[in-house]
Structure 1
Amino acid sequence: MSMSTYAREDRQAREPEDPRRAAGARRALSRWALRLALREWRQRVLIVVLIAVATAATLLGIAVGSATPGTPNAGTFGTARTRVELPGSTPHLASVIARIEKAYGAGSVIEDLPITTGQAGGADLRAQDPSAPYTRPLLALDSGHYPASAGQVAVTAGLARLYSLRVGSAWHVPPGAGAAAGRIFAVTGIVEDPSNLLDEFALVAPGQLASPGDVRIFLGISMDSAAASAAGNVIPRSAIVSAPEPSNALVSPATVVLVVSVLGLVFIGLVATAAFTVMAQRRQRALGMLSSLGATEADVRFVLIADGLLAGLAGAAIGAAAAAGAWFWYYPHLETATAHRTDPLALPWPAIIIGLLLAVATSVIAAVWPGRAVAKVPVVSAISGRVDPPQLITRSLRPGILFLVGGLFLLFVSGGWDDGGGNSGRYAILAGLICCEIASALLAPFLVDRLARLAWRAPLASRLAVRDLERYRSRSGAAMAAVSFAVFIATIAIIIASVRFDDALDYTAPNMTSSQLIFYTPGNDLTQVSPGQFTPAAKLAAAKAQADTLAAQLHAPAPLELDVPVSVHVSMPGQPTQNQFGTIISLHGRGFGGTTWVATPALLKAFGISPGEVDPRADVLTVRAGLPSTGGLALVNGAYLGNPPNEPCPAGLCILSPVIQEVSKLPAGTSMPNTVITERAVRALHETPVPVGWLIQAPAALTPAQINGARQAALSAGATVETKNGQLSLGEISNGATLGGLLLALGVLSMTVGLIRSETARDLRTLTAAGASARTRRALTGVTAGVLGLLGAGLGAVAAILAGVVWAHSSLIQTFGNVPWQDIGLLVIGMPLIAAIAGWLLGGRAPSAVSGQPLE
């Protein structure tokens, strides 16, 4: 009888296992796996940290995505479906409000009366019911209580600092508040508008404003509904009726959370697969001893699954702790950037819990696949350590190409920037992004294979490093896919952020830096009225003296006078005759260039622009990169805007296709002279320069105390000041996305390269014994990190750009016209260089011994 026949008969005669014995064996294996994990904690640090980094990035993305306001509806409309704005001068105002509420249902009414505070934008004396149904999102109590009767008021924190108020103080309404000026109120609390932290107001009880400046009525009915049509139109012609924007925006918080959660899960799976493949290879000898003691293949797989569970639990716990710490540190900065109050604990907890569970489940699933391969290794081979070298598996490119084509097709039909597909369009975008990332993961091993075929002429160390990546293609491919994921997300974020900043006419940026301050002359608040109004000589001189004093107190140079070119005494339809400033407009109706300034010699000198740098033919100097190349523009004076003639661009009122020169030395802030008109163009348009303010450049960022002191000084002179608000610039958003992607990719690279190099430690011992120098060892690590980083970053960037091109196929110029390619270049080129240099510097240590691997 042959040996195989005997073994077959022996298995047939074997009695079934006792379930109790099997359960006891699993408990013993679990205890053994736990003890081994605790003993080998140093070898597991990299794997656990990999999972922790991926988990922390996913959870932090969920928190930021859910806390960022997706649309401005809450800050403008509350929960109302219609807002009606009435001038305070409306005849029989109370009866008009009663008639509107009778026709369309009870509404929430807010009455505002502007008051002068010395800060640009001013503040309002506001009558509002805190319990009104539609305006609750617009009001929150920080301390004290709401005013309940006449003579009581609650103020915002900014007004409390300005007037040195606290709960229990008495507040005298400043001059310039109409009939309310001089009234005395007792402060009962500190309030805020949580949807707009820049909104400064003093809250009084409803009915306390006898002559409001304007009235807002919030209604729960849409004017397009059948009920509103049946009620008829009872709204006066002088009213402004508006409705909230549709809430199906592409970047809504729900969409962001969904995208981040799913893509984060893919990232965790890619990282964990590479990690557990290396862990299974490292544990082969111990698992071989386990098999020699009678463990079955299922038992060996169970040990690897237990390893995955333990590593997943540890990584998820550490990642959750890191994400919590980062979130509690970051959310105040998010509030400042968005001017929106954020409750740090009001998070989508089901999504976070599911994310943690999925992180553990993904870790376990990632441990199953290498566990199946290790369980099939013969016992003798596993114990001896002489395991067969990795086999190169020839796979088809077809799956990767199919996923890529499918993802691009879904993005193509998703609706683009118009989001024509609604909810289905958002899900198509999500599915398309996932398909593109899966395609990157499937295509990554082929890039390694093709590179290895081209490395035969490279130096020895580089050739060995590249061939190691090819030999361990399953590990290097997963690591490359994880790097491409980080670069893919960062590139997509940069492209999307750049779209909001692409229109040079609709210019978006921070208003100024934190060390700058503009002291406006009385009546020329840039945020409230049309600047360029004449200020009486006495007031102008007093304001100039106050600006000089303020600059001296801030240890700043002499203030820079800011002039606006205006047409004098322009009759505006429906408005009193006033000075009207000139600006740049689009003759195709695309936009309005905003406030422009006069390029006086003092202004050019202050920003380091010499006369030789200015083109003698230039009509406009600007820092806006896309403005010189924008077609269909005209430089017009105020009379053209006040009463446009029939002619498209009459001489003397307009300069068609002005010569615009880009000057990078001009400041970029929206309230700063980022676009200036040359004095030659001012004369050609018959305009008059009018001083509207003085720019003060402090040597350091202004403190809250200094800002408050400036507001007090402006208030005493009847003027206003403007300082930096929380608006982010494209550079800040792009740099944040670049830094996040860079750090995430470098973290994955450093830990993955450590895993791959530890897996090839036996080869490194052999090379060292054969006389390989520290330079060779450094080259091995540096080339491994650099090649993985370059291929992964290139794959991620190309996939993201392809996805962006296909998704925004109908608006490519809008999408890619203002992309900061230098940030994407930093990801694709700078990150691999950093990884290669770090690998070179840290990879020269010689192996501790040239002996065989000890038995665990």
Structure 2
Amino acid sequence: MSRNGGLPARRAVVRWAWRLFRREWRQQVMVLTLLAVAVTAAVVGVSAGYHSTPPGTARFGAASQSFTLYAGEGQPLDARIAQAREWFGTIDVVGRSYLPVPASVDNVELRTQDPHGPYGGPMLRLLTGRYPTTPGEAALTDEVAADLRVRVGGALTLDGRSWTVVGLVENPGDLGAEFVLAAPARSEPPESVTVLTAADPARFAEYRARNGQPVYELRPSDQWVEAAAGVFSVFAVSMLLVCLIAAAGFAVVAHRRLRQLGLLAAVGATTRHLRLVLLADGAAVGVAASAVGAVAGVLVWFAVTPRFETAAGHRIDRLDLPWWQIAVAILLAILTATAAAWRPARVAARVPITLALSSRPPRPKRVRRSAVAAGVLFLLGVVSLRFAQRNREASHNELEIAAVTLIVAGTLAIGFALLFVGPLAIRVLAAVGARLPVASRLALRDLARHQARSSAALAAISVALAIPTATVVAARVLEQTTAEGNLSDRQILIWTDAPGLRVPDRTPAQLTAIEAQVRRYTATLANPTVVPLDIAIDPVQAPHPDVNGGRIGRLPVSVGASSSTGSETVTLVATPELLRYYGVDPASVGQTTQVLTAQPHPDLSLLSEPGGTARPLPPETTDRLPHPRFESLPRTFLTAAALQRHNWEPVRTGWLVEAPSR
């Protein structure tokens, strides 16, 4: 048998600690309440972060990939759909057309979709009535029904076509999607179709390579992770503050139990047994508070879910919670309570039996080790925060999970450094305050006498002040001034169409009318600088219907990183006026230079249409452009040599206007 009593002795000590907790839990109600509130906030916050991002079912249903086919691209839509069905086997087709709304400049989407399709089912939810089954029937979303003043059973007429409204529907994954749902009709083909499939990635890539690289999307994976991780990191930092406050509370509990601990030591308990008493008490507090907080958090989440659905823009299953993150939060709360009890337990276990029986606190000892530990932890915290900053800069200011982890680790390390340096700071204050008035001197001496609880309280106050101070400083540093931001207060970008969409074919008279309107606006300014903005198109390319209303237009030329089609950016033409505005002499641009860019990626490729076949650019054909001070200013230009080399044509797409004063 062990000299220390072994497992039976530890079991007896834990049982005794549990009895003490049940009898004296009211003395720890502050710590219990604090932990319970923290766990409640964590459950609600993590659940909100989990559901803050739109689900993949909003645009993909049960599919893994989707691609869009447009009418008027040579081969008929039916033939290309049959080709896709033969290639993939099982597909789901969603047709889209855009019809003008009477007495309005808006269009409404007419969607043809099988509600019971193999992949698109999760994209539809029936509210009232039934789904349309014949070509003369339709179902509306609630906003469309309200705007058009149509009820279930009424008649809907748009663009010379009529339907009987048989139900109200919605996209549960995207409550902002408004459309008219109709049964598929072969007599009136849609302007475009979205094909949903769940193919093998390699086979999907092969299809794209063989069929002209259609505009496609891949189902995003785990978008909620970053949001939930951000909320969880805030909870982890807040638990540091809770730990420090709880440590002060456990120090008081340890002082009250000195006599009991002294009696336990007198009958043979070791230092480990005495520590175990308070550690078991801390674990009991953590378990009780976590249980109450978890139940309260789930109930609060059930209550706020209907309101949160409106803010998030999608339907939420109340029981669809990140249970593993909630379990980690509960475990972290238990560990926090146990860790908060560790330092008071360590101090109380070292009190001599005679002092413990008399309930007199021991004389404070020198704290060389705590000062060294504080220095090491502070250094580790600063290094972690520095690495987090570098990680963010390397990822172009995107806060990734690695950066969040480093920020949390650095903040926790600095917080624990404050805890370890607390006793030293109290002693220094007590020594310096020898000449203070009596009241202040007595307060400092009392702090020095009860260092275990005083240092924890001092660290808690320091962290409580440091967090809002750091937040204010960070907000001030990140605050955009008149020399930063998207554009200055003297600039405006005027676009004839939204950047990145198809460029509609306009007649010279239409372009002249648009330019006249711009001139009338700029005439109201005092001596403005007006720089025309052109975009390049391939005149050989067949026109495409625009997704925003069926207008015919051409896809603009894009420039993107050769390694990723996801980084494509529609590119303006480097006209002499635009180059001079950027401070570049047009004569200094080489004859072989095709692209001028301020982007950090030198590995670029040309795409005659987004998603099309990339044409890698040799490094010698790319030159650097001065980096603009504002984020929304264009950063990549095609030179006149590029247009001449590829037989592309410039088309007016907008104007950059800058006034000399506000």
- On whether the aligned pair clears a TM of 0.5, the verdict is yes
The structural deviation recorded for 1:266 is 4.8
Q: Alignment RMSD, CA only?
A: 5.2
1:36 matched residue in structure 2: 24
Q: Is the 8 A contact 2:69 2:77 kept in 1?
A: no
* 2:318 is the alignment partner of 1:344: yes
Indicate yes or no: 2:480 matched with 1:504: no
User: In 2 relative to 1, CA 15–473 (structure 1 residues): closer, same or farther, beyond 3 Å?
Assistant: closer
Equivalent of residue 475 in structure 1, options 451, 456, 460: 456
Q: Secondary structure at the match of 2:93?
A: strand
Q: 2:215 aligns with which of 241, 262, 269?
A: 241
| Residue in structure 1 matched with residue 76 of structure 2 by the alignment | 92
SS of 1:196's partner is coil
Deviations 1:294-323 (A, max 9, x none): 766555444323422332133213322443
| Amino acid in structure 1 at the alignment position of 2:183 | A
2:90/2:197 contact within 8 Å kept: yes
Q: Which position in structure 2 is the counterpart of 1:433?
A: 408
Distance (whole Å) between structure 1 residues aligned to residue 290 and residue 30 of structure 2: 14
Q: Alpha-carbon deviation of 1:230?
A: 6.7
Secondary structure of the 1:195 match is: coil
* Residue in 1 that maps onto 2:29: 45
How do 1:680-829 residues align onto structure 2 when only pairs under 5 Å count?
A: none
Distance 2:520 2:303 in 1: 40
1:81 to 55, 65, 71: 65
Residue 178 (structure 1) aligned to one of 145, 148, 159: 159
Structure 1 residue 151, shift from structure 2 partner? 3.9
Could you tell me how far 1:54 is from its partner in structure 2? 2.6
* SS of the residue 2:117 aligns to: coil
Match of 1:203 in 2: 181
Q: Is the 8 A contact 1:288 1:379 kept in 2?
A: yes
Query: Who is 1:138 aligned against?
Result: 123
- Structure 1 residues 305 and 145, CA, compared in 2 at 3 Å: closer, same or farther? farther
Paired residues for 1:269-668 under 5 Å: 269-288=243-262, 297=271, 300-394=274-368, 395-396=371-372, 397-408=374-385, 410-411=387-388, 414=391, 416=393, 418=395, 426-427=401-402, 429-443=404-418, 446=421, 453=428, 456=433, 471=451, 472-480=453-461, 482-483=463-464, 486-487=467-468, 503-505=485-487, 574-575=505-506, 578=510, 617=526, 619=528, 635-636=530-531, 647-649=575-577
What is residue 536 of structure 1 aligned with on the other side?
none
SS at match of 1:170: coil
Contact 2:58 2:174 in 1 (8 A): yes
Distance (Å, rounded) in 1 between the aligned partners of 2:19 and 2:222: 52
Q: How does 1:51-66 map to 2 (within 5 A)?
A: 51-66=35-50
Distance 2:48 2:241 in 1: 18
CA contact (8 A) 2:126 2:169 kept: yes
Q: 8 Å contact 2:14–2:280 — kept in the other structure?
A: no
Paired position in structure 2 for 1:554: none
Deviation readout 1:550-580 (Å, 9 max, x if unpaired)? xxxxxxxxxxxxxxxxxxxxx9753456467
Indicate the SS of the match to 2:154.
Answer: strand
Structure 1: how far apart are the matches of 2:307 and 2:105? 23
Q: Which residue of 1 aligns with 2:492?
A: none
Q: If each structure's strand is expressed as a fraction of its own residues, which one has the higher value? A: 2
Residue ranges of structure 1 left out of the alignment (5+ in a row) = 1-13, 508-527, 532-570, 585-594, 602-615, 620-633, 658-810, 816-856
Cα distance 1:485–1:119, how it changes in 2: closer, same or farther (>3 A)? farther
The residue type paired with residue 414 of structure 1 is N
Q: Is the 8 A contact 1:48 1:314 kept in 2?
A: yes
Equivalent position amino acid for 1:574 in 2: D
2: distance between equivalents of 1:640 and 1:368? 67
Query: What's the offset of the Cα at 1:348?
Result: 0.9
Q: 1:159 aligns with which of 144, 160, 166?
A: 144
8 Å CA contact 2:255, 2:361 repeated in 1: no
Q: Which residue of 1 aligns with 2:95?
A: 111
Give me the identity figure in percent. 26
Unaligned runs of 5+ in 2: 490-494, 538-555, 557-571, 583-626, 632-662
C-alpha contact 2:244 2:460 (8 A) present in aligned 1: yes
Instruction: Indicate if the aligned counterparts of 2:245 and 2:456 stay in contact, CA closer than 8 A.
Output: no
TM-aligned CA deviation for residue 498 of structure 1 = 7.3
C-alpha distance in 2 between matches for 1:492 and 1:349:
35
Once residues 365 and 515 of structure 2 are traced to their aligned partners in structure 1, the CA distance between those partners, rounded to angstroms, is 73
Shift of 1:241: 0.8
Residues 123, 105 of structure 1: CA spacing in aligned structure 2 closer, same or farther, 3 A cutoff? same
User: Equivalents in 1 of 2:324, 2:174: separation in Å?
Assistant: 28
**How big is the shift at 1:83?**
1.9
Given that 2:53 and 2:223 are in contact with CA atoms closer than 8 Å, whether structure 1 keeps it comes out as no
Show the counterpart of 1:128: 113
SS of structure 2 residue aligned to 1:173: strand
Query: Which structure 2 residues correspond to residues 222-241 of structure 1 after superposition, within 5 A?
Result: 225=202, 228-229=205-206, 233-235=210-212, 241=215
Question: What secondary structure sits across from 1:252 in the alignment?
Answer: helix
* TM-score, length basis structure 1: 0.51
- Residue 352 (structure 1) shift: 0.8
Distance 2:445 2:107 in 1: 67
Between 572-581 and 388-397, the greater mean CA deviation after superposition: 572-581
Q: 1:337 and 1:250, CA in 2 relative to 1: closer, same or farther beyond 3 A? A: closer
Give, as a single letter, the amino acid of the residue that structure 2 aligns with 1:109. V
Report the Cα offset of residue 67 of structure 1.
Answer: 1.2
The TM-score with structure 2 as length reference comes to 0.64
Q: 1:618 to 1:315 in 2, by over 3 A?
A: farther
Distance 1:94-1:479 versus aligned 2 partners, 3 A rule: same
Counterpart code for 1:44: Q
Query: Structure 2: how far apart are the matches of 1:200 and 1:411?
Result: 41
CA distance in structure 2 between the partners assigned to 1:194 and 1:493 by the alignment:
38
- What is the aligned partner in structure 2 of residue 758 from structure 1? none
Partners of 1:94 and 1:133 in 2: CA distance: 19
Equivalents in 2 of 1:453, 1:442: separation in Å? 17
Task: Give the distance between the partners of 1:333 and 1:578, measured in 2 at CA.
Answer: 47
Alpha-carbon spacing, 1:481–1:258, altered in 2? closer, same or farther (3 Å): same
For the structure 1 residues 266 and 209, does the alpha-carbon distance in structure 2 shift closer, same or farther, using more than 3 Å as the test?
Answer: farther
State the AA in 1 paired with 2:505. Answer: G
Q: Which residue of 2 aligns with 1:805?
A: none
Matched positions, count: 531
Moved more, 343-352 or 394-403: 394-403
Cα shift readout 1:794-823 (whole Å, capped 9, x = no counterpart):
xxxxxxxxxxxxxxxxx99999xxxxxxxx
* Superposed CA offset, 1:486-518 (max 9, x none): 54896799699979x9742599xxxxxxxxxxx
DSSP 3-state at the match of 1:184:
strand
In the TM superposition, residue 247 of structure 1 has moved relative to its aligned partner by 5.2
